[in-house]
Amino acid sequence: MRPNLFANVPARDYMQFGEGASFDAKAVAEVLGLKKHEVSKIAQVAPSSVRWDDAIPSKVRDRLEEIGSVINLVAGVFDGDAVKTALWFKAVNPLLGDVAPRDMIRLGRYDKLRKFIVSAIAEQARTLPSGSPSTGA
């Protein structure tokens, strides 16, 4: 089976971050419990430039949109359960080298985490019988 080219885009906005002009970057940071200085490191901008109003730097907005998309992918696995999704990101995961997904993001390992999540969801889709509900892994 070939990889799905569109597997990195969630089916819907489970976490209600919004899309386009209505995207709420601060909500993404709050789900992960990220402080402004952590967001600045992730987006590679000065801490003083991190803000949540209409003047949000495009680098901050773009990076948090990417992260929000991955959060929504995970939320899809948990049938949109925001509490389980947030817990998954904060819990140490043995398949990630005993590091919490949130910490991978904070430490600049977002791309590796994204690839891991997309791969795991694709694997789950291949192993579940057609029509079966997800297990909420």
pLDDT, block means (10 residues), the chain with 137 residues: 73 94 96 96 96 95 96 96 97 96 95 94 78 50
Give the HSE-up count for residue 14: Cα atoms under 13 Å, Cβ half-sphere.
23
CB atoms closer than 10 angstroms to residue 36: 16
Q: Is residue 5 part of a domain?
A: no
Q: What does the pLDDT read at residue 137?
A: 46
Residue 45: what residue type? Answer: V
pTM, to two decimals: 0.87
SS3 69: helix
Domain assignment of residue 92, given as a range: 20-127
Q: Is residue 3 part of a domain?
A: no
Q: What does the pLDDT read at residue 58?
A: 95
Q: Is residue 8 part of a domain?
A: no
Torsion sign, CA atoms 76, 79, 82, 88: negative
Distance CA 24, CA 55 (A): 13
Q: Is residue 6 part of a domain?
A: no
Residue 129 is encoded by which pair of tokens? 């019988």
Q: What does the pLDDT read at residue 4?
A: 74
Number of domains comprising the chain: 1
Q: Find residue 93's DSSP bridge partners.
A: 99
